[in-house]
């Protein structure tokens, strides 16, 4: 059984305040996240090993965006999202 079989996947966007590394302007950006929400129960015949893994599994979000484009019209450079975790447990 794959880890992904334990979760329902969806995508969400969350606003985040980020500062451009080039011009230092702070703006709010919509960042995409992949949401893996743990299923209520596993269906069908499940081996003991998978049942234990499932019991330990937790819902989490994975950040999809690594770069954003600066909103400052005089800059418009892409910069890396820093200071934000790429995995967040729910």
Chain residues that interact with Zn ion, rule: CB under 5 A: 20, 22-23, 70, 72, 75
Q: What is the rounded distance in angstroms from the CA atom of residue 62 to the CA atom of residue 64? A: 6
Q: Which is nearer to Zn ion, 61 or 70 (CB)?
A: 70
Q: Which is nearer to Zn ion, 31 or 61 (CB)?
A: 31
Q: Which is nearer to Zn ion, 59 or 72 (CB)?
A: 72
Order of strands across the sheet with 60-63?
Answer: 7-19, 26-38, 60-63, 87-89
Closest distance of CB 13 from Zn ion, Å: 21
């Amino acid at each position: 059984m794959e880890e992904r079989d334990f979760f329902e996947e969806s995508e969400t966007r969350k606003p985040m305040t980020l500062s451009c590394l080039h011009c230092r302007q702070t703006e709010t950006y919509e960042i995409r996240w992949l949401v893996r929400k743990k299923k209520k129960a596993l269906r069908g015949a499940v081996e003991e090993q998978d049942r234990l893994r499932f019991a330990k599994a937790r819902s989490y979000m994975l950040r999809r965006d690594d770069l954003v484009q600066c909103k400052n019209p005089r800059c418009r450079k892409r910069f890396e999202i820093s200071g934000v975790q790429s995995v967040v447990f729910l």
